[in-house]
Amino acid sequence: MPAGSPLQKRLSEALAQIRAADLYRLRRVIDGGHGVQLRVNGRDCLNFCSNDYLGLASDPRVAEAARAALAQGTGSGASALVCGYNREHQRLEEELADFLGAPRVLLFSSGWAANLGVLRGLLGRDDHLLADELNHASLIDGGRLSAAQYMRVAHADAAAFEAELSRLGAQATGLKLLVSDSVFSMDGDLAPLAALQRLAQRHGAALMVDDAHGFGVLGEQGRGSFEALGLPLPDIYVATAGKALGSSGAFVAGSQDLIEYLVQRARSWVFSTAPPPAIAAATRCALGIIRSEPERRAQLGANIRRLREGAQQLGIVLGDSQTAIQPLILGEAARTLAVSAALFERGYWVAGIRPPTVPKNSSRLRITLSATHTAAQIDGLLEALAAALKSG
């Protein structure tokens, strides 16, 4: 790129503005597996910012399942509709459907691809999308790309959803679709799922929920947010394999017709190379562990309680979350960076989350817990956090 070109000028100015606002982002390099204990940028630390809620990302059984499947090859070679649909993909879809009690499941390469594929494939100009304002970026972008009339609704406010539905009235043409995360990724709070289901039924609407941070973790069997609340699955259920399952990819669960429609019209599925069969094999293994080892969820719950009780004793005010996502809102981006850096110097990696990921003036430490954290590690984090807050 020539120096002084219009593109170079735009990029340089934009990067300078990002740095000046303390919003510049950097990658850190991890050597080896992604577990609680990491080697990051050449130094050892304890990981408190991963979504690996059950510790399966570094479980040797999951790795061995992938390794065995790799003996047959690496990539899938094409999209699923061409020649990329492997027996491992089919088995995983069938086992996920059985686990959830859903008619069918369709695998996607990522949660982003799943949400974009559903929303863009399903919605058109005559349709109405009512979405929680703090939904994941993939739901936001999918809604914007769908051509539907997009309505942002106040966060976790069932009354606000009802007001929008009432305003549309029975005369509204097209499909009315309510869309929400279940567990919100930056706050750890829960959507009013029972109320949203009632509203959808009352107003002739459909409900789509992304349960990325609930699947595998919540509910007696780990089936997610809807099991935890004693509710049937929504019309469109999305979850990921990259969090509690410790693997990669995502899936959509729903009716026979929904899955068949997505096979025909979800562009992010139709035109994407199918995930490697070894990833599906690893995910199948992880699903089996979730089904057979409920003690992992019990330990995660104990770790959440220990962190929250310890924080309260130290006067550290965490967000109102009972999930593995425990935010500590600090407000200013600069202070958030300083506290995160101070923790890293003490051997604890806690991500500092800043705009545009979260709203302006709500920068935070996003503390996440795993079933494989020990009591001593959690206590050590709390001690380091108290010291870092005083100095930062």
Where is the binding site for substrate, in residues? 25, 136, 357
Half-sphere exposure of 208 (CA within 13 A, CB side): 29
Instruction: Spot the catalytic one: 138, 185, 272, 370.
Output: 185
327 alpha-carbon distance from chain centroid: 15
**DSSP for 150-163, written as a single string:** EEEE-TT-HHHHHH
Strands 43-47, 37-40: pairing kind: antiparallel
Catalytic annotation on 128? no
DSSP three-state, residue 99: helix
State the binding site for pyridoxal 5'-phosphate.
Answer: 185, 213, 240
Catalytic annotation on 373? no
Instruction: Spot the catalytic one: 243, 272, 321, 373.
Output: 243
Residues 6+ apart with CB under 8 A from 178: 130, 131, 161, 196, 199, 200, 205, 206, 207, 208
Element counts in the chain: helices (H) and strands (E): 14, 14
- Contacts of range 196-202, beta carbons closer than 8 Å, 24 or more positions apart: 196/158, 196/161, 197/231, 197/232, 197/234, 199/158, 199/161, 199/162, 199/165, 200/234, 200/235
136 alpha-carbon distance from chain centroid: 8
DSSP three-state, residue 217: coil
What is the radius of gyration, based on Cα positions, of the chain? 22
Catalytic annotation on 213? yes
Instruction: Spot the catalytic one: 89, 128, 213, 373.
Output: 213
Distance from C-alpha of 384 to C-alpha of 357, rounded to nearest angstrom:
25
- CA angle in degrees (0–180, nearest 5) for 147-131-14: 75
- Find tokens 């919100």 and name the residue: 184
Half-sphere exposure of 215 (CA within 13 A, CB side): 26
Residues involved in catalysis: 185, 213, 243
